[in-house]
Amino acid sequence: MKKRKEKSFNDYREEGHLWITLSTGEYYPDVLPLACELYKPVLVTFGQLLKSAHSSTDLFTAIAATNPQWMRIQLCRVFRKYVSPETPVEMLKKKSAVKEICERFGKGFRAVTEVQSHFNARSMPDEALCAVLWEYKDRGHKGYDLTERLFTIIREQFSDLRIIGPERAGKDVIMGELFKNYPKPDRPVDFVLFYKDTPVAVGLARYDSDRGGAQEDDRTGQYRDCANEVIGYSKTTGKNLKVIFLNDGPGLLLGSMWRDYAYIENSWPGLVKVVTLRMFPERISIDWLMSKGRK
- What is the three-state SS of 85-106? CCCCHHHHCCHHHHHHHHHHHH
User: Does residue 50 surpass a pLDDT of 90?
Assistant: yes
Report the distance separating Cα 295 and Cα 292, nearest Å. Answer: 8
Q: Give the pLDDT mean for 117-121.
A: 95
pLDDT band for position 213 (cuts 50, 70, 90): very low
pLDDT, averaged across the chain: 86
CATH T-level topology, domain 140-290? Restriction Endonuclease (3.40.91)
User: Is the overall model pTM greater than 0.85, yes or no?
Assistant: no
- Conformational region of residue 99, where left means phi above 0, alpha means psi within -120 to 50, and beta covers everything else: alpha
Strand, coil or helix: what is 15? helix
Q: What is the DSSP letter of 54?
A: S
Domain boundaries, the chain: 32-137, 140-290
At 7 the pLDDT is 87
Degrees to nearest 5, angle at CA 241 with 240 and 245: 155
Q: Percentages helix, strand, coil for the chain, rounded to the nearest 5?
A: 55, 10, 35
Q: What is the spatial distance between Cα 197 and Cα 172, in angstroms, rounded to a whole number? A: 19
Q: Where are the beta strands (DSSP E) in the chain?
A: 161-164, 173-174, 188-189, 191-195, 198-207, 242-248, 272-275
Residues 6+ away with beta carbon under 8 Å from 241: 199, 200, 201, 202, 230, 231, 233, 234
Q: Is residue 141 within a helix (H) or strand (E), and if so which, with residue range? A: helix 141-157
Per-residue model confidence (pLDDT) at position 280? 92
Q: How many CB atoms lie within 10 A of CB 162?
A: 17
pLDDT tens per residue, range 66-75: 888 889 889 9
Q: Where would I find the H helices in 238-273?
A: 257-267
pLDDT at res. 222: 86
